A and B are shown apart, each in its own frame.
Chain A
Amino acid sequence: AQKVTQAQTEISVVEKEDVTLDCVYETRDTTYYLFWYKQPPSGELVFLIRRNSFDEQNEISGRYSWNFQKSTSSFNFTITASQVVDSAVYFCALSPQGGSEKLVFGKGTKLTVNP
């Protein structure tokens, strides 16, 4: 069975602080895909990143960076110099096999960035 754990339910930071959102996953598949989505108050899901299990390189996209470590089954997400617009619920998700198959979501981390 697949499982995604986001232990941090809510995080509150002050603007310009760095913040890391944790994600730990469980799967028996050797091939799998990990995702991060942002859900602003309006509800829609905004795709942030996809990573497959064979690519452990960290990725940076602007203020966002991701640290994938298979040894600890973690796929953490860091926002550098946070901004108020980053306030949202962030979901980590796992796709059992295909890159566009159904997703298993974590419970989400609500990030509040205060001015």
Chain B
Amino acid sequence: GAVVSQHPSWVICKSGTSVKIECRSLDFQATTMFWYRQFPKQSLMLMATSNEGSKATYEQGVEKDKFLINHASLTLSTLTVTSAHPEDSSFYICSAPVAGWTEAFFGQGTRLTVV
């Protein structure tokens, strides 16, 4: 299968700072990347869809100015949580569909803790 590499696996940051999460497609070109968020003991909810070379599409209720998504190349999409607060503490995970495959491939996920 295809590989999506997500970094960092976990991060602890202070309230008010920004955190960048990267998702790289290692052996394929990802024109689309989906970003999900999972609060503790909750389901995964789609936050936004990033498309290479264009603006991301955000789901209802997700603040686009707070969660900045950049998909500047076919192998890298980034999610930046700006001015993070404790309520942003969550598990963030990306996925990318791959042409010819029946399922999207997920990154390993990033556990963000804001203190």
Contact = CB atoms under 8 A, between A and B. Distances in A.
Interface string A72-100: 00000000000000000001000000111
A72 to B, nearest CB: 22
B5 to A, nearest CB: 12
A102 B109 CA distance: 16
Given A43-B108, A44-B108, A45-B93, A108 B43 contact: yes
Which of A45, A91, A107 has the most chain B CB within a 10 Å cutoff? A45
Chain B interface size band reads: 20 to 34
Given A100-B97, A105-B44, A106-B43, A43 B103 contact: no
Q: For this complex, into which size category does the number of interface residues on chain A fall?
A: 10 to 19
A44 B91 CA distance: 10
Contact of A107 (B42, B49, B91, B104): B42
B91 A99 contact: no
Nearest to B6: A44
Contact of A100 (B45, B93, B104): B104
Contact of A50 (B93, B97, B102, B109): B102
A19 interface: no
Task: Pick the most buried of A43, A44, A102, A107: most chain B CB atoms within 10 A of its CB.
Answer: A102
Interface of B: 34, 42-46, 49, 91, 93, 95, 97-98, 101-104, 106, 108-109, 111
Interface of A: 33, 35, 43-45, 47, 50, 91, 98-108
